[in-house]
Structure formats: structure tokens, C-alpha cells
Amino acid sequence: MHIQKIAAFSDGDTGGNPAGVVLADALPLDADMQRIAAEVGFSETVFATPMGDSWRVRYFSPESEVAFCGHATIALGAALALQQGDGVFALALNHAQITVEGQRQGTTVAAALQSPPTRSQPAPATLVAEALALFGYTWSDLDPRIPPALAHGGADHLVLALKTRSALAAMRYDLAAGRVLMRREGWATILLGFTETAQQWHTRNAFASGGVLEDPATGSATAALAGYLRDIAWPHASRINVVQGEDMGMRSLLRAEFSNLPGSSVRVAGTARVMSD
């Protein structure tokens, strides 16, 4: 079985979030997909097989199956473009039907996904307090313009907006404690963000639920963030640009484009680069 390694949302020929990509005639057994994802060791590995006019897709982190993974979907779009040619590909996930497109551009592939529907709601104060304690933050570290929220963009995320870039850079937490909290609440990640301008964001994503301390680029969380900003009438002008992974030395660039229609899909785009085996 050939496992491609593709970094999604790269900064040109560097950075991005590595994902394993397996294109197969049939999906392996669940236990085998989980084992392969653990052996690959990236935050996610995506498995895809042809199914009529679409592709049946499943995602696995090193420790569990994931409902939706944005950066692995971008990596999949790149792999399909390299194998099938440039195009838009229909994907059947466990709980949603989406698309991903890929277009070859020299040494990289431009790719974009259309997320599942988005939704958001205010986060309960007790949960926010627990999350703040996990990272060693206090309520005074939060940006009052962007209240803590539970946001969904194919997976569930807690969104905490911070007042300063330095607070974001100082993110630290205990992986085991984070795993307990995130799995109990069903959160794929906790997104910590800082808004440099209304449309320019810096984010970090704790991914203890998948056994990974931090994710360098998170498409589902970016879609969830975009949907949440739309819900609170943030002056987004229908798009945001996100820099993620910078504090990890794996700078990643994501772009989210979306309409003002509540709950509608978010287009999350970037580039992908093929990594050497």
C-alpha cells in the first residue's frame, strides 16, 4: 500500500501540515487504517476509494478516527489532481458530502475544499474557565470583541480569541489533561486566535484529542472560525487569511472565503507540496 506524504496549506515550498494520503481500490479494515495512521505519525492520514462518481473518504489521527480533517482533505485534493488531473472531486465523508479541487502549479498544487455546513454558539463560562486554566490563561487574556464560542466546520472546536500575539506565542498545556477535556467535550481542537486586522488572523490549534500537542494547519477549525465570525457580524468582508504553525517553525497559510448566508459552506484554500518519502 502506497502512502503519499503531502504538506497542506504550505507557505510555497516550505511549511504546511503533513498528512498521509492513501488512494486504494477499497478501504482497509478500520483496525488497519488506525494502525497505519499511528505508524505514519502525522496528525491525520486520509483514506480514499472510488465510489461511483465520488470518493469515499475517512480520516484517522494516530489515536482515533476523525469526522473531518481540512488539511488532509487539501492533501487529498493535491493527490487526486496529481493522479487524475486538475479538477473538482466529490467526497463522501462519514457525515457529509463535500468537494475538493486541485490544480497543479509547478512544484505545488493549489487546492480548495468546500466545508460541511457551519454553526456556532456561545461557550458556557464553566467550560471556558476550564480551558483557560488548561493553558494558564485568565479571562483578562481574552479579546472582548470575540466571545468564546463552540464552533463547527465539519468538526467541533472551542474558539478562544486572545488580546495579544505574545499571549498566543506563549501557548503551553499538558497533553494528557487536554486529551481528557477535549475528548469529554467532543472537540477536535481548541483554537486559540489573535486578530492582527479584521481579515488577518494568527491561530494555534491544540489537538490533544488526536494525541497531537499542536496542529500546524487546521482547515476544519478555520472553516469553523470563519462561520463563527459570520455569525457575530465580524467585519470579515467575506474572507479571512490565517497564519498558523508559525510558532512551531511550520508556517502555514490558509484562506477562507464565505458568503453572509448563515450556516453555509466555507471555501478553505491553500497550496500543498509533496514531501519526499
Catalytically active residues, by annotation: 44
Taking the C-alpha atoms of residue 173 and residue 35, their distance in angstroms, rounded to an integer, is 27
Residue 272 and residue 77 in contact, taking contact as beta carbons nearer than 8 Å = yes
Among residues 119, 127, 125, which one has the least CA distance to residue 156? Answer: 119
d(CA 270, CA 105): 12
3 state DSSP class of 259 = coil
- Collect all residues with Cβ–Cβ distance below 8 Å to 275 and sequence separation of at least 6: 5, 6, 7, 18
CA nearest to 150, candidates 165, 140, 141, 160: 160
Q: How far apart are CA 265 and CA 99, in angstroms?
A: 11
Contact predicate 107/150, CB 8 Å: no
Collect all residues with Cβ–Cβ distance below 8 Å to 116 and sequence separation of at least 6.
Answer: 68, 93, 95, 96, 98, 153, 154, 223, 265
Beta carbons of 153 and 256 less than 8 angstroms apart: no
